[in-house]
Amino acid sequence: MRNGLRGAVLGAVLVLATACGSAGAPVDPAPAGDVAPPQPANVGGADNAGGGGTADTSCNPLASLRPTNGTSITSGSTMAKIKEKGKLIAGVDQTTFLFGFRNPTSGQLEGFDIDMVNEIAKAIFGSAEGRVQFRAIPSKLREDVLERKQVDIVVRTYSITCTRLKKVAFSTAYYQAGQRILVESGSKVAQLSDLAGRRVCATKTSTSLTKIAADPSKPVPVSVDNWSDCLVMLQQKQVEAVSTDDVILAGMLAQDPTLKIVGDRFTEENYGIGVPKENEDMVKYVNAVLENVRGGAWQASYAKWIGNKLEGGTPPSPQYK
């Protein structure tokens, strides 16, 4: 019995060893060159254009409310209520390098837009330290969070347009950008018309996507939630180009020097700070803060984040109603 059992075990081991050693030629069911890289979540098309409303010229979008009391805070005002709750709630981006992004080392949000938020918090509380509650939002929700009063302000490369002013209020412009094109360094594309019939990425409901969708050369709009998604799609050759404001493209270029920005600006984008439409006192207060910021803090922030990447460096002059 014992010898019989031992023989059976050895036989089984021999069968297994033989099977493992004779797998035959490997078969690749899906050659690597045929596997498409995964797309970012929620990729869409031109159906997400139009939210920016660049075609609406029914107003002067840059004319905001003139400051009346400087940065003093009166009892019962919107700013007094913010001070009482102890936090300024700001809707921001965390994916746009240079303007609003999360530092991978410190975990903190940084960038030009974040500096503007901190200046407003500093004016209200005396210091921004521990006084800001940042809420990262995609571009398509900027109006929504303001209309629902889920935030006190939105500072997120937010172009002022007449269409948006029907839903929310804006400060004076604190930064002026312009739409350009980002492509691979070997690309022969020089302008938007060179992208006829080719896929071009922009974020949903942005003025950039609206421009791409309306261009007579008929590029194919690809819409995503965040600008970082556009960068990934360009790197993976899922789109031919990214088209948006030059300062956003400069942030992408800083992350990937194998790309290049081409062409002149073909739009003018004036960034404002979004405020719930009813809070006119907050609009005036923010404008007073921006008046002070233009005296030095603006230039310091520009030099830190943008100065060596783009020409310019002058804050836009305020316009008032």
Tell the residue number behind the tokens 């995609």, with chain if given.
138
The set of residues, in sequence order, having a beta carbon less than 8 Å from that of 36 and lying 6+ positions away, is 238
The set of residues, in sequence order, having a beta carbon less than 8 Å from that of 158 and lying 6+ positions away, is 142, 170, 271, 272, 273, 274
**Does residue 290 form part of some domain?**
yes
**Does residue 318 form part of some domain?**
no
* Segments forming the whole domain that contains residue 113: 60-306
Question: What value does the mean pLDDT take over residues 257-283?
Answer: 97
Please determine, for residue 22, whether its predicted confidence score (pLDDT) is greater than 70: no
Please determine, for residue 214, whether its predicted confidence score (pLDDT) is greater than 80: yes
Residue 143: enclosing H or E segment and its boundaries? helix 142-147
**Does residue 106 form part of some domain?**
yes
**Does residue 227 form part of some domain?**
yes
Give residue 12's pLDDT band: very low, low, confident or very high (50, 70, 90): very low
Q: How many domains does the chain have?
A: 1
**Does residue 41 form part of some domain?**
no
3-class state of residue 85 by DSSP: helix
Q: For helices 280-293 and 78-85, what crossing angle results, to 10°?
A: 80
pTM (two decimals): 0.85
pLDDT digits (tens, 9 = 90+) for 44-54: 887 777 666 66
CATH number of the domain residue 271 falls in: 3.40.190.10
Cα-Cα end-to-end distance for the chain: 104
**Does residue 4 form part of some domain?**
no
Residues in the chain, overall count: 321
**Does residue 23 form part of some domain?**
no
**Does residue 32 form part of some domain?**
no
